[in-house]
């Protein structure tokens, strides 16, 4: 399945979460989004946002200061 | 629709309504001035602190959805033209509360919710949560009697959710005053033992030092304007204004230097080559003499502060870097008035 990509490097929380939310609002359940960020806070905030809003974190990969968080869009329940 | 700040009061207000079997979703606004997150993320020394967005954390504890909404542009009018004026610093608390309830009201109407709840407590805050100002927020926001304050509802006229029977007024509360004790006791009753400590402010505009820097920015530019980068940079580094036409932003430690690195393409910047030292951004329109002074100040805040000479690199965006050797400016030559 193809993934959309969102680059929020350099942005500080809560901006990575806000940009993620804006992208997810335009997507359909089942689609995937990969968020690339550098703020360590996003490592916790984006998964927390996903949990409270019914989306699923598929994987989190950290490499040389970059964090890649893959999300599967939920149906809003 | 609940305004969720991440603090205890809004957490308790939501819990009271959830206990009545009502579906609640949270909304949290990012103005650019929020203390939440940013400074901790920037500063290296804070990197061992737990990093969590308190509003998200509260939402998760309560089991509600949370919408985080950026209002940086719209919020400017609140900061620049507060109808009710400022508090002790540049904090337009009453206008701010009215603005946030107004935005929540718009969100409520667009998404089919029936009323708004906040964690306001009568008498809790000197400006925005007084008996006289609570009705002002309700009226000016447009929310009117669809604004319910569960923690102090019994001290106020019944709102529409109470009159219609959507909410049982008897199960709401009558908190008032500045004491936090009733909230602490209620938190204990609900089993909340971990929550953001009330700090008296969630916003940099309540901070006197930050307000001085913001006022200086406006004075130097000759207009009361800002963008997100401006207000972010006011949170970071040591700010010195040696002359009216420029100021320096000096990283104080590695985390701040890393953050300032991201602005190198927008600002003239300096760093020391012969010694370890900070990254320094120059904001304004310095001439050659000003840049010499900036170089001596950069040397002063490096580990070469006591050396005879320090090699400094000056880089103007779009130009080749220039190197020069300077004598660090002695502390006695740095007037206290330069520090913002």
Residues B269 and B186 in one domain: no
Residues B136 and B252 in one domain: no
Between 3.40.50.1820, 3.40.50.300, 3.40.1190.10, 3.30.110.40, what CATH number should domain A3-64 receive? 3.30.110.40
Q: What angle is formed at CA B172 by the lines to CA B170 and CA B176, rounded to 5 degrees?
A: 125
Q: Which residues, in sequence order, are bridge partners of residue B185?
A: none
Residue B180 confidence (pLDDT) above 80: yes
Last residue of a domain, one of B182, B203, B224: B203
Chain B residue with minimum CA distance to A39: B41
- φ, ψ for residue B234 (rounded to 5)? -70, -20
Q: Between chains, do B53 and A52 touch, taking CB under 8 Å as contact?
A: no
3-state secondary structure of B40: helix
Residues B137 and B245 in one domain: no
Residues B186 and B324 in one domain: no
Q: Hey, of B30, B68, B69, which one would you mutate to test binding to chain A, going by the most A CBs within 10 A of its CB?
A: B68
Judged by a CB distance cut-off of 8 A, whether residue B40 touches chain A is yes
Last residue of a domain, one of B181, B203, B225: B203
Chain B residue with minimum CA distance to A47: B56
Residues B157 and B255 in one domain: no
Is residue B31 within 8 Å of residue B68, measured between CB atoms?
no
Instruction: Determine, yes or no, domain membership for B216.
Output: no
DSSP secondary structure string for all residues of B23-35: ---EEEEE-S-B-
Judged by a CB distance cut-off of 8 A, whether residue B260 touches chain A is no
Q: Between chains, do A41 and B60 touch, taking CB under 8 Å as contact?
A: no
Chain A residue with minimum CA distance to B34: A14
Residue B98 confidence (pLDDT) above 80: yes
Q: Which tens digits make up the pLDDT trace of B100-158? A: 999 999 999 999 999 999 999 998 876 667 888 899 999 999 999 999 999 999 999 99
CATH number (domain holding residue B171) = 3.40.50.620
Chain B residue with minimum CA distance to A19: B70
Domain boundaries, chain A: 3-64
Q: How confident is the model at residue B174 (pLDDT cuts 50, 70, 90)?
A: very high
The predicted structure's pLDDT at residue B200:
47
Of B37, B65, B262, the CB nearest to A13: B37
The predicted structure's pLDDT at residue B255:
84
Q: Residue B180: which domain range? A: 2-203
B215 DSSP assignment: H
Contacting residues of A for B262, CB less than 8 Å apart: 10
Count of domains in chain B?
Answer: 2
The predicted structure's pLDDT at residue B123:
87
Is residue A74 within 8 Å of residue A57, measured between CB atoms?
no
Instruction: Determine, yes or no, domain membership for B219.
Output: no
Residues B280 and B324 in one domain: yes
Q: Between chains, do A40 and B66 touch, taking CB under 8 Å as contact?
A: no
Q: Between chains, do B65 and A14 touch, taking CB under 8 Å as contact?
A: no
Closest C-alpha among A74, A67, A75, A77 to residue A45: A67
- 């109808």: which residue's tokens? B83
Contacting residues of B for A14, CB less than 8 Å apart: 28, 30, 34, 36-37, 53, 68
Q: Between chains, do B52 and A17 touch, taking CB under 8 Å as contact?
A: no
Judged by a CB distance cut-off of 8 A, whether residue B57 touches chain A is yes
B50 vs B146: which has the higher pLDDT: B146
Q: Between chains, do B68 and A17 touch, taking CB under 8 Å as contact?
A: yes
Instruction: Determine, yes or no, domain membership for B58.
Output: yes
What positions of A carry a catalytic annotation? Answer: 13
Residues B266 and B313 in one domain: yes
Residues B167 and B309 in one domain: no
Q: Which tens digits make up the pLDDT trace of A11-49? A: 888 999 999 999 999 999 999 999 999 888 899 999 999
Instruction: Determine, yes or no, domain membership for B135.
Output: yes
Q: How confident is the model at residue B46 (pLDDT cuts 50, 70, 90)?
A: low
Determine how β-strand B322-326 pairs with β-strand B310-315. antiparallel
Entry field: residues in chain A: 77
């Amino acid at each position: 399945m193809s993934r959309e990509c969102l680059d929020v490097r350099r942005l500080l929380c809560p901006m990575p979460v806000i940009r993620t939310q804006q992208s997810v609002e335009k997507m359909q359940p089942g689609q995937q989004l990969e968020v690339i960020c550098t703020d360590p806070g996003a490592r916790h905030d984006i998964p927390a946002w996903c949990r409270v809003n019914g989306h699923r974190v598929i994987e989190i990969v950290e490499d040389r200061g970059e964090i890649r968080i893959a999300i599967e869009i939920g149906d809003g329940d | 629709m609940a305004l969720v700040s991440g603090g205890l009061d809004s957490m308790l207000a939501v819990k009271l309504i959830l206990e009545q079997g009502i579906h609640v979703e949270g909304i949290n606004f990012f103005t650019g001035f929020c203390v939440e997150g940013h400074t901790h993320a920037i500063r290296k020394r804070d990197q061992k602190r737990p990093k969590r967005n308190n509003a998200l954390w509260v939402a998760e504890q309560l089991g509600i959805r949370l919408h985080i909404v950026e209002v940086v542009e719209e919020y400017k009018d609140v900061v620049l033209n507060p109808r009710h004026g400022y508090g002790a610093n540049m904090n337009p608390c009453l206008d701010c509360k009215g603005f946030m309830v107004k935005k929540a009201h718009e969100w409520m109407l667009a998404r089919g919710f029936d009323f708004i709840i906040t964690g306001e407590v009568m008498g809790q805050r000197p400006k925005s949560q007084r008996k006289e100002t609570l009705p002002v927020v309700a009226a000016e926001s447009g929310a009117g009697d669809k604004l319910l304050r569960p923690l102090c509802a019994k001290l106020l006229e019944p709102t529409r959710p109470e009159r219609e029977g959507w909410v049982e007024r008897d199960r709401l509360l009558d908190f008032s005053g500045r004491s936090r004790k009733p909230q602490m006791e209620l938190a204990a009753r609900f089993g909340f033992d971990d929550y953001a400590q009330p700090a008296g402010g969630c916003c940099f505009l309540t901070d006197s030092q930050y307000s001085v820097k913001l006022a200086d920015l406006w004075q130097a530019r000759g207009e009361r304007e800002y963008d997100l980068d401006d207000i972010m940079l006011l949170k970071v580094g040591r700010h010195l204004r040696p002359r009216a036409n420029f100021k320096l932003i000096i990283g104080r430690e590695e985390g701040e230097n890393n953050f300032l690195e991201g602005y190198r393409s927008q600002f003239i910047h300096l760093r020391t080559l012969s010694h370890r030292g900070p990254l320094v951004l120059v904001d304004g329109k310095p001439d050659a003499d000003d840049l010499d002074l900036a170089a001596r100040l950069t040397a002063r805040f490096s580990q070469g502060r006591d050396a005879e000479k320090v090699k400094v690199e000056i880089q103007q965006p779009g130009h080749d870097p220039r190197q020069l050797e300077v004598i660090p400016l002695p502390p006695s030559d740095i007037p206290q008035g330069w520090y913002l």
